[in-house]
Amino acid sequence: MRTKLLSLSLGLLAVTGWSQSATVSFTNNVVQPIPDGNPVGLMEQFNVSGADGSVSNVSVTLDITGGFNGDLYAYLVNPQGHLAVLLNRPGVTGSNPFGYGDAGMNIALDGLALNNIHDYGSTPGYSLSGTTWAADGRNVNPQSAGSTLYGAPTTANLSLFENTDANGVWAFFIADLATGGGTANLNNVILTIMTVPEPQTFTLTLLGGGMVWLIVRRKA
């Protein structure tokens, strides 16, 4: 019987793992009138800090009462300057230059939703209370002709924020761009950011990182 000695040098073993995802929400529930027919509008800022990892999804909840929905224009800007168009005069098309005449909404605009808020009136069984929609995403002048506005790509949506750093100042803007239809009130806006932490490397030391002798026996 022969004995064979094998020398293995075991040092450090790196193991990669993931932490759990996290959700942070920021709320501004001070009721503010949205000036009728005034492009100055309202600006809200959310200062995010301590968020780990990168953004996986963003949701914006809007509680608006009164006014004329087809007059509304809103966007969200992240700390890196990326702009997502939340509302761009819902319902405006080449055949409807005024948009939808509903007064207010209580909805969530979510990066994972499918039905675009711009077309809510043509969505079967639509509701503007407690429902979730995709952001408008049309990054064009809201005063454009209806055919130009409606035909613009919907790429300026909430997915623009994916894989970015959540920390810093987020800016929310909303305005009523046409006179008439009454004054809308912004009752509540909630910014919800979901993050996925970066993979973390954990280093394990095996047997003190020293030399390990293995004795392997086999038959001659």
**What would the pLDDT profile of 133-190 be if each residue is shown by its tens digit?**
999 999 999 999 999 999 999 999 999 999 999 999 999 999 999 999 999 999 999 9
The answer to whether 76 and 168 have CB atoms below 8 angstroms apart is no
- How far is it, in rounded angstroms, from Cα 45 to Cα 172? 6
Q: Give the whole-number percent of the chain exceeding pLDDT 70.
A: 80
- How far is it, in rounded angstroms, from Cα 169 to Cα 197? 19
The answer to whether 173 and 40 have CB atoms below 8 angstroms apart is no
Q: Which residues, other chains included, contact 69 with Cβ-Cβ below 8 Å and sequence gap of 6+? A: 90, 91, 99, 100, 101, 102, 103, 104, 105, 128
- Tell me the per-residue pLDDT of 43-60, one tens digit each, with 9 for 90 and over: 999 999 888 899 999 999
Q: How confident is the model at residue 88 (pLDDT cuts 50, 70, 90)?
A: very high
> Considering the chain, what is the average pLDDT of its residues?
84
* Confidence (pTM): 0.81
Q: What is residue 52's predicted lDDT score, i.e. its pLDDT?
A: 87
5 or 151, higher pLDDT: 151
Q: How confident is the model at residue 5 (pLDDT cuts 50, 70, 90)?
A: very low
CA geometry: angle 56, 48, 90, nearest 5 deg = 65
User: Domains in the chain, start-ordered, CATH in brackets?
Assistant: 1-17+199-220 (no CATH), 19-197 (2.60.120.260)
